[in-house]
């Protein structure tokens, strides 16, 4: 059984920052996605996509930026999933530098088939959350 | 006097998409930022940063994804600013393909000085919204 | 008949820069790609991909960085294609700010089918170069 | 004493791919940069930038793409630095999936001060290569 939050480490490189000196705000959505993929299991996500034609799509997201991260920072993405319905999972995803909370995020995810139609969250994914 | 919404065109290239075939969700925050810069006036944003040391930071954002955009799409970002206080502007920013609404966004922006402290939204920017 | 070089305008936003204050070096490859798509014609590229299953792939690229671009810059990508063989087009792609040359690039492009196998450059594309 | 090549692992996420299903070509320059930062030592790069005002800039790069990487791939960036002169380091940086070579890269790097003028590669960096 998993313990929450799931923790994913992110290192901040030149590519992550903008000319303000801080991490470009949109990039946190990338870190959240990386964290969700590890949380759900990359090999199973690959299998679902190739064999079952099931992919995942963000339906809604929200972020509050409390403090910026800078080049060289080692961040933690702490993610906690919550099954909202058969079709929808919400992830609370927060960004920490040490014990300092930098960004608070919420991401709602749904599953779709090859035609882009909504399908139930697969059982193998449910087993991880 | 400006008429709202401000409209900014975005062309979708290979770089904008991911292997699902759709535009990567985080990229819409980039299109929103491009639209805000044109709305506020790029030369004045450059001047504010270089001469007055004033930059802009996203404090909060939210997006709802209704339908995906694909390679070759010509999108419109329709932006409407609202001054919430002396320190905060909220932009309603929606993505359209023709008359079809694809993504609904809200972005709250604040101004900061070189030390990262909150400052009032500059008058030259207020004049544009 | 086309006149060379083909010119494509690029505006530099926050997203394009990194904490050095300059445009992140890898981004020039994105600007080159945008320019090539306009040069070759986006609607035909979309049609080739959807109907004929033909896409384009960079086989080799090279860049020399002479001077950095900054936030607010309006750049020009000047592109000149050269058909090297039935299968390969080389683009000379240079980045200018006014008459100042910032980056010199060379990109070799090939066409592939749905299985990823090399195919001849389509006639509709040849007609553009 | 270091043994070459330096190996840096890269996991391929949704964000890395484009609608062709493969990793977007420009992204390999990002992976190369991440690898160089670990090779040179992130804390020392941060210190050089903040205390000495010395940063690193790519002067020239070249890539040959032999095969594409896909979502879910675990790649290795194998980097070997070579000091070309007091002012210039060249990195041979290749991308492998298992023992399969996907991309061959060469990156020339120079050091600059706060004014953007060329300076000698710092001794602490020389000690790592």
Checking DSSP bridges between strand B100-112 and strand B55-65, what pairing results, if any?
antiparallel
CA distance C129 to C123: 10
pLDDT at D1 over 60: no
Written as six digits, the tokens of B96 are: 């359209």
CA distance C17 to C71: 7
Interface of A with B in 38-97 (CB under 8 A): 55, 57-65, 68
CA distance C85 to C108: 11
Is D75 a domain residue? yes
CA distance B102 to B64: 9
Any chains having at least 3 CB pairs less than 8 A from chain A are B, C, D
CA distance C85 to C110: 10
pLDDT value of residue A66: 97
CA distance A61 to A109: 9
Q: Do C14 and A14 touch (CB under 8 A)?
A: no
Is A12 a domain residue? yes
Is A1 a domain residue? no
Is B1 a domain residue? no
**Cα dist from A49 to A111, A125, C59, D37, whole Å:** 10, 12, 27, 33
A26 phi/psi in degrees, rounded to 5: -65, -25
pLDDT at D62 over 70: yes
pLDDT value of residue D97: 98
Checking DSSP bridges between strand D55-65 and strand C55-65, what pairing results, if any?
antiparallel
Q: What is the pLDDT of chain C when averaged over all its residues? A: 96
Written as six digits, the tokens of C112 are: 């592939």
Any chains having at least 3 CB pairs less than 8 A from chain D are A, B, C
User: Which residue of C lies nearest to D53 if distances are taken between CA atoms?
Assistant: C20
Contact B27, B71 (CB under 8 A): no
Q: Is the minimum CB–CB distance between B34 and chain C shorter than 8 Å?
A: yes
Written as six digits, the tokens of A95 are: 């960004």
Does the annotation count D73 as an active-site position?
A: no
CA distance D24 to D70: 10
Q: Do C42 and B72 touch (CB under 8 A)?
A: yes
Instruction: Supply the range of the domain harboring residue D120.
Output: 6-126
User: Which residue of C lies nearest to B29 if distances are taken between CA atoms?
Assistant: C15
The whole model's pTM is what? 0.97
CA distance B103 to B80: 14
- Comparing CB atoms, the residue among D14, D46, D71 nearest residue A72 is D46
User: Which residue of D lies nearest to C49 if distances are taken between CA atoms?
Assistant: D20
Q: Is the minimum CB–CB distance between A20 and chain D shorter than 8 Å?
A: no
Question: Which residues in chain C are closer than 8 Å to D60, comparing Cβ atoms?
Answer: 62-65
Q: Tens digits of per-residue pLDDT, A55-113?
A: 999 999 999 999 999 999 999 999 999 999 999 999 999 999 999 999 999 999 999 99
Is B104 a domain residue? yes
CA distance A10 to A32: 10
Catalytic residue among D18, D52, D73, D94: D18
Beta strands in chain A (DSSP E): 6-11, 55-65, 74-85, 88-97, 100-112, 118-119
Q: SS3 for chain B, per residue?
A: CCCCCEEEEEECCHHHECCCCEECCCHHHHHHHHHHHHHHCHHHHHHHHHHHCCEEEEEEEEEEECCCCECCCEEEEEEEEEEEECCEEEEEEEEEECCEEEEEEEEEEEEECCCCCEECCCHHHHCCC
pLDDT value of residue B67: 95
Residue spans of alpha helices (H) in A41-126: 42-47, 123-126
Written as six digits, the tokens of D40 are: 């040179």
Checking DSSP bridges between strand C118-119 and strand C100-112, what pairing results, if any?
antiparallel
Q: Do A60 and B63 touch (CB under 8 A)?
A: yes
Q: Do A17 and C14 touch (CB under 8 A)?
A: no
Question: Which residues in chain D are closer than 8 Å to B22, comparing Cβ atoms?
Answer: 19
pLDDT at A3 over 90: no
Q: Tens digits of per-residue pLDDT, D85-109?
A: 999 999 999 999 999 999 999 999 9
Interface of C with B in 103-122 (CB under 8 A): none
Q: Tens digits of per-residue pLDDT, D9-31?
A: 999 999 999 999 999 999 999 99
Mean pLDDT of C70-96: 97
Q: Do A19 and C24 touch (CB under 8 A)?
A: no
Task: Express as a percent the part of chain D with pLDDT over 70.
Answer: 98
pLDDT value of residue A50: 93
Does ipTM top 0.85?
A: yes
Q: Is the minimum CB–CB distance between B26 and chain D shorter than 8 Å?
A: yes
Written as six digits, the tokens of B92 are: 């309603």
| Active site amino acids of C | 18
CA distance C121 to C106: 18
Give me the number of domains chain B comprises. 1
Q: Tens digits of per-residue pLDDT, D67-77?
A: 999 999 999 99
Taking the alpha carbons of D91, D92, D95, D98 in that order, is the dihedral positive or negative? negative
CA distance D66 to D103: 6
Q: Is the minimum CB–CB distance between A29 and chain C shorter than 8 Å?
A: no
Question: Nearest CA to B125 among B74, B71, B56, B67?
Answer: B56
pLDDT value of residue C3: 87
Q: Do D45 and A15 touch (CB under 8 A)?
A: no
Which residues of chain B, if any, have pLDDT below 70? 1
Question: Nearest CA to D100 among D66, D72, D70?
Answer: D66
Is C1 a domain residue? no
pLDDT at C1 over 90: no
Burial of C13 from C-beta contacts in 10 A (0-12 / 13-18 / 19+): buried
pLDDT value of residue A52: 96
CATH at A33: 3.10.129.10
CA distance B92 to C106: 41
Is D1 a domain residue? no
Question: Nearest CA to D33 among B115, A28, C18, B51?
Answer: C18
Written as six digits, the tokens of B119 are: 């400052």
Question: Which residues in chain A are closer than 8 Å to C68, comparing Cβ atoms?
Answer: none
Assign C128 to helix, strand or coil: coil
DSSP H or E segment with residue A40: helix A27-40
Question: Which residues in chain C are closer than 8 Å to B77, comparing Cβ atoms?
Answer: none
Cis previous bond, A93, omega within 30 = no
Assign C126 to helix, strand or coil: helix
Is C29 a domain residue? yes
Question: Nearest CA to A23 among D86, C22, C15, B97?
Answer: C15
pLDDT at D2 over 80: no
Q: Do D15 and B26 touch (CB under 8 A)?
A: yes
Question: Which residues in chain A are closer than 8 Å to B61, comparing Cβ atoms?
Answer: 25, 62-63
Q: Is the minimum CB–CB distance between C15 and chain A shorter than 8 Å?
A: yes
Note the Cα C98 to chain centre separation in Å. Answer: 19
């Amino acid at each position: 059984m998993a313990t929450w939050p799931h923790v994913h480490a992110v290192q901040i490189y030149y590519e992550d920052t903008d000319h303000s000196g801080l991490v470009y705000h949109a990039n946190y959505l990338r870190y959240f996605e990386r964290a969700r993929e590890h949380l759900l299991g990359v090999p199973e996500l690959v299998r679902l996509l190739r064999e079952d034609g099931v992919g995942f799509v963000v339906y809604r997201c929200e972020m509050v930026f409390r403090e910026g991260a800078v080049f060289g920072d080692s961040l933690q993405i702490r993610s906690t999933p919550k099954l909202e319905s058969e079709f929808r999972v919400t992830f609370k995803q927060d960004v920490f530098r040490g014990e300092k909370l930098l960004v608070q995020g919420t991401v709602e995810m749904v599953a779709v088939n090859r035609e882009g139609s909504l399908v139930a969250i697969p059982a193998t994914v449910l087993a991880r959350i």
